Amino acid sequence: MADKTKVGKEYPPVTWEVERGKIAELAKAIGDFDSIYLDKEAAIKQGYKDTPAPPTFLTVPMMWSSSMPGVINDLQINFMMVLHGEEEYEYYRQIYPGDKLTGTPKVASIEEKTSKSGSRMDMVTIEILYMDQNGEKVAKARTLLVERK
């Protein structure tokens, strides 16, 4: 059962330098072969200043760091009972190779819900505000974790 006293708690920041190769790797992994993700010149011809990161790119920093398992442990969530409910992104500007992103995970909310079958679950929302190397807001990611009881 998620520790509801942790709502509002911030965790140590995650820092990630965006690499052109990781952009192409993610695009290929998700089956998006749009040339803007694979070729800088193609991206520039389409009006970008460089190869843009795909919309779901912000899953990469959190998954490559040890932050999410640490958050889950601190919240006293049973990892074996966790489902990834959804992911949402709010962008303030495009992400490009060379950007150095720093994201601070925060527990935004924890709500208990009951399914139609009567099963209880905790709905845990983690928000991560990403800032760039200039201290400007780049994006906010919201992750919904569902802990089945």
Ordered structural domains, the chain, with CATH: 4-18+57-148 (3.10.129.10), 19-51 (no CATH)
H/E stretch holding 138 reads strand 137-148
Number of Cβ within a 10 Å radius of residue 29? 10
Split at pLDDT 50, 70, 90, the class of 41 is: very high
- Average pLDDT of the residues in 2-10: 95
pLDDT digits (tens, 9 = 90+) for 64-99: 777 788 888 999 998 889 988 899 999 999 999 999
Q: Please give the structure tokens belonging to residue 96.
A: 């490009």
Distances (CA, A) of 109 to 4, 55, 106, 144: 8, 24, 9, 9
Tokens (6 digits) for 75: 């919240």
- pTM > 0.85: yes or no: yes
